[in-house]
Amino acid sequence: MIRLLIAIFVLSICTFSAVAESIYGAENSAKTDTMLERDWAGLEHYRLANSKTEPPLKGENRVVFFGDSITEFWNLSDYFPGMPYINRGVGGQTTSQMLIRFRPDVIALRPRAVVILAGTNDIHRNHNGAILNVVRDNLSSMVELAQVHSIRVVLASLLPVNNHSNGKDGKPILQTIKRRPENIKILNEWIKQYANENRLTYLDYYNTMVDKQDILRPELSFDGLHPNKDGYKIMARLAEQAITSSLTSKR
């Protein structure tokens, strides 16, 4: 009798597991399909704009600014009037997403140079040190793709962050917890070394915008992460110098 009860119990558990797997397996599959439908890599973000972008004129020094929200929020025409610079930043993106859209949003536009500012969202979403290896691999792949197509590369440092701004609830936005300064510094050191080893132009935003406590100067940002007008003014000056250096270099 006891054996019979045990057998019935085991059979019930197995039946429940099979049903649960069927239900939740289908649910997970549906979630995956939904994610794919939502265009995870952001390929649709600039598809229309890209289709309307004419090929560069002969002798035109077209430059694509490629990155996340720090790039997307940057109104390039205000800071580089009359220059053939194209903004291809997408807010919230990691380097994995950027790598997927590098071909349509950079290579297909046939620029002479690309300014890449990427990695802060990778650090935000993954606080372990292993994510830095993923960022390094993705940045290296972008550089290699650009070089195959004779596009000069300007690799930018990540910006520092600070905790001086408050959210809508009045509480401080703890950017240094979301994006640890030590990880930003480690990644910037690698970007600089990689740029030097591969004869690329390194664009150092960090050291001009950081204070003595290794955080973003408070007067340069409205939320501790994104630059304000004064922050973008500094970035524009440094970016122009780096672009000129890249385009005139014989490397």
- Domain spans of the chain? 62-248
Residue 2 scores a pLDDT above 50? no
For domain 62-248, which CATH number applies: 1.10.1740.10, 3.40.50.1110, 3.40.50.1820, 3.40.630.10?
3.40.50.1110
C-alpha separations of 29 from 15, 20, 33 in Å: 21, 14, 6
Give the mean pLDDT of 65-91. 98
Distance CA 161, CA 226 (A): 8
Mean per-residue pLDDT over the chain, rounded = 87
- pTM for the model stands at 0.84
Residue 72 scores a pLDDT above 50? yes
C-alpha separations of 213 from 110, 119, 133, 198, 210 in Å: 41, 21, 26, 31, 8
For 115, half-sphere exposure in the C-beta direction (CA atoms, 13 angstrom radius) is 34
Write out the H or E segment, with its range, that includes residue 244.
Answer: helix 229-248
Percent over 90 (pLDDT), the chain: 76
Residue range 32-65, pLDDT digits in tens: 344 446 899 999 999 999 999 999 999 999 999 9
Predicted pLDDT at 183: 93
Query: Minimal CA–CA distance to 155: which of 110, 198, 191, 206?
Result: 191
Cα 28–chain centre separation: 27
Split at pLDDT 50, 70, 90, the class of 127 is: low
